Structure formats: C-alpha cells, structure tokens
Amino acid sequence: MASSGIGPGGRLRLRLYITGDAPGARRAIQSRNRLIEEFGDDVDIEIVDILSLPEEAERAGILATPTLSDESIDPPRRLIGDISDLSQVLEYFGFRRKDIAP
C-alpha cells in the first residue's frame, strides 16, 4: 500500500526537517543522501532547516528534529529521529521498491 507521497512520475516526495549543522542534522542529511543514491530520481527529499525557516516548522507543527515527513497526506506521516535504515524508512512510509517507478 503506497501513501500519496508518491508524486507525479512515481516519485516519492518527502521533507526532512533539521536543525542547523547539529550532529543529528548531519547524520540525517547523510541518510537522506543515501536514500537518494539508492533510488536516484525516484525520490525527492526537500531539506528544511528550521533555524533558517522557523515559520515552516511552526506551520508544519514540527516539535523535534530530525523529522522526515510525508506532508501530502492528512494527517502527515512523520518519522522522528534516526533514518539510517533505508528499508525501515521506506517500510514506515508504506513503500516497497516496486511502488516507486522503475
């Protein structure tokens, strides 16, 4: 079962909320980059630094970082904390490899 985070062309579209250059933010960005390397153009993960854009965090109701969020559904589906296990992240959001465009 795929969530509506699959956008046009079968791309998985998520947002990663981080806090500046903190160690947790750096690890989350590394994990994001690994997801993008693994799935290439099939995944789009926008980074939102809540120190630079606090209004985005407030609007989205983000209380902790890092948070990976599929905001295309209501209520948003969010994974807070460690996102280093790629298969676990995809499973959490309800995606299997075959759900994403070949």
Rounded CA-CA distance 22/35 in Å is: 20
Superfamily of domain 13-94: Glutaredoxin (3.40.30.10)
Q: How far is CA 36 from CA 15, 56, 63, 96, in A?
A: 13, 23, 25, 15
Express each pLDDT in 70-97 by its tens digit: 987 888 899 999 999 988 888 888 776 5
Rounded CA-CA distance 79/48 in Å is: 15
Q: Where exactly are the structural domains of the chain?
A: 13-94
Express each pLDDT in 40-66 by its tens digit: 777 889 999 999 999 999 999 999 999
Task: List beta partners, residue 17.
Answer: 48, 67
Q: By C-alpha distance, which of 92, 83, 81 is closest to 30?
A: 83
Mean pLDDT, all residues of the chain: 84
Express each pLDDT in 7-26 by its tens digit: 555 677 899 999 999 999 99
pTM for the full predicted model: 0.82
> How sure is the predictor about 2, in pLDDT bands with cuts at 50, 70 and 90?
very low
Residue 30 has a pLDDT of 96
